[in-house]
Structure 1
Amino acid sequence: MFLQMNHVGKTFTDQDQQSSFEVFSDIDLSIAENQFVSILGPSGCGKSTLLSMVAGLEKATEGTITLQEKEIMQAGPDRGMVFQQPSLFPWLNVRDNVTFPLKGTMSKKEANDRADHFLKMVHLSRFKQNFTYELSGGMQQRVAIARALAMDPKVLLMDEPFGALDEQTRHILHDELIKIWQETQKTILFVTHSIQEAIKLSDRVVVMGTRPGRIIADFTIDIPRPRQRDHQEVIELEKKVMDLLEGEINKVLKEELSNEIEYSR
């Protein structure tokens, strides 16, 4: 399998080694090349931590994560990351933001040509000389996507990239992302809180539960694109996922309420 997680677990321990918190354990997940897979789940289930581990920004406490049978031990150019906030350099223009991670790997002309190609793909060609602070939030996120694609990663990792945007902009970028994915055929691992977003974009939706974090469902979505929210198949799948998540969310709320009552005594 292209991207493979075998019995992966993550536990955080405080500096004094006095207490620990298990985020998740025994995660098994296989992702094929060119698949678009969304990870969906309530806050605290570990989905962003899992994505960071695939990126090589966090280390697994147990188990292994492999890409093309090579274990992931650290960050690398074969994985591109897009965060919820674009994390752009405000002192650089749009094109220079895209070429920044390419420095030292190719000539300046080659880097500029590659940046121009992906800026055209995200419809930002005429803004390449603008500073990023002059752009809207949605445009900044498109710059971040172009920057990640310019590195030509094998896997594009996206951690709630549209979560901070208004609904209209989010829907526009959904359509853009699908076009980009179809053109580049990248493998995409996408973290979201939105059931609608996951169903609209993905080939598969992996649902995680919490306390402890674990995979509770893996839906293959064979609904033809473009997918409209009022399509009967979309409505039925959304209800199935919501029913699963409601139980997990209620579990978290009950636990937090119990802790508050205990603390107040």
Structure 2
Amino acid sequence: MFLQLNDVGKTFEDKEKGEFEVFSNIDLSIDRKEFVSLLGPSGCGKSTLLSMVAGLEHATSGTIQLEDKQIKQAGPDRGMVFQQPSLFPWLNVRDNVTFPLKSTLSKQEAEKRADHFLKMVHLSRFKKHYTYELSGGMQQRVAIARALAMDPKVLLMDEPFGALDEQTRHILHDELIKIWEETQKTILFVTHSIQEAIKLSDRVIVMGTRPGRIIADFNVDIPRPRKRSDERVIELEDKVMNLLKEEINKVLKEELNNELEYSH
């Protein structure tokens, strides 16, 4: 298996409440070139899980392997795209993309690669602009180009379109699918949106919370492009929503109880 998570658990230390278990016993296998979304309510640990695959967080138990090699730290074989683009405002668009390439490529080679991926995300004519001159959607496309320019084996995306307006989000959905089809990258994508997960993914992994765990793994065998009016999309949305209702109610109930305790 290309990317393998075996019996993975994560516990944080809380000075006031002691140990807090984010999730445990996570088993997940992802094939090369798959587009997989992690979907679930706040607190289920999906972003933490993504950070662990990136090597930014360490597992408390279990193992995470990429091509049979255990992940222990961040590396260039995994590219990360965050909800906020995390670009350098003092650099122009092209220099933002070439920045992580400087240690391994010549300036000419780095710029050639940057130009290739900026063209892929339709930003060629903006390569000399500073990032603060761009819209939020354009900035996120720069971040995607930068991650792709590193030629990672896995592209990790943590709610990359969550802060964008709906129209921009739909446009970037279509662009991301084209990029994925062209590059054949393995993508692990975190989202709160059922519609987004179903529109983009080969598989939708549904996570529950309290404690975090995988409660379902749906294969999305609906031809792309997928429309929300498609009966198969509506049916799958209903299945996922029904699964999540109980988990969301758990979160709401716990938050209400915490508020009542705090008020007393």
Partner of 1:190: 189
Q: In structure 1, what residue type is equivalent to 2:183?
A: T
**CA distance in structure 1 between the partners assigned to 2:235 and 2:200 by the alignment:** 16
Give the partner amino acid of 2:10.
K
- Structure 1 position 18, deviation (Å): 6.6
- Structure 1 pair 18–251 and aligned structure 2 pair: CA distance change class (3 A): closer
Match for 2:104: what amino acid? T
Match of 2:145 in 1: 146
TM-score (norm 1): 0.98
Equivalent residues, number: 264
Are 1:81 and 2:80 matched, yes or no?
Answer: yes
SS class of match (1:178): helix
2-structure distance, mates of 1:130, 1:114: 18
CA distance in 1: counterparts of 2:144 and 2:231, whole angstroms: 32
| Partner of residue 135, structure 1 | 134
Give the deviation of 1:245 after TM superposition: 0.6
C-alpha root-mean-square deviation of aligned residues, in Å?
0.9
Distance 1:50 1:17 in 2: 24
TM-score by length of 2: 0.99
Measured after TM superposition, the shift of residue 17 of structure 1 is 8.9
1:187 and 1:18 map into 2 onto residues whose CA distance is 38
- 3-state SS of paired residue (1:228): coil
In structure 2, what is the Cα distance between the partners aligned to 1:23 and 1:100? Answer: 34
Q: Which residue of 2 is the match for residue 220 of structure 1?
A: 219
Structure 1 distance, partners of 2:252, 2:98, is 45
Amino acid at match of 2:216: A
Give the Å deviation of 1:195: 0.3
User: For 1:93-137, what per-residue CA distance to the aligned partner results, in whole angstroms no more than 9, with x for missing partners?
Assistant: 000000000011011000000000000000000000000000000
1:4 is aligned to 4
1:241 pairs with 2:221: no
Question: Which residue in 1 is equivalent to 2:174?
Answer: 175
Indicate the SS of the match to 1:164: coil
Match of 2:46 in 1: 47
Secondary structure of the 1:57 match is coil
- Name the CA distance, whole Å, in 2 between partners of 1:222 and 1:251: 30
* Superimposed CA distance per residue, residues 8-46 of structure 1 (whole angstroms, 9 cap, x where no aligned partner): 0000013x5971110000000000000000000000000
Q: AA paired with 2:3?
A: L
The alpha-carbon deviation at position 261 of structure 1 amounts to: 2.0
- Percent identity between matched residues is 83
Deviations 1:157-184 (A, max 9, x none): 0000000000000000000000000000
Q: Distance in 1 between matches of 2:161 and 2:260?
A: 36
Q: CA deviation at 1:256?
A: 1.6
For the residue of structure 1 that corresponds to 2:27, the secondary structure is strand
Give the aligned partner of residue 103 of structure 1.
102
> What is the alpha-carbon distance in structure 2 between the residues aligned to residue 17 and residue 8 of structure 1?
25
**CA distance in structure 1 between the partners assigned to 2:259 and 2:118 by the alignment:** 49
Which 5+ residue runs of structure 2 have no aligned equivalent?
A: none
| Distance in structure 1 (CA, Å) of the matches to 2:216 and 2:110 | 42
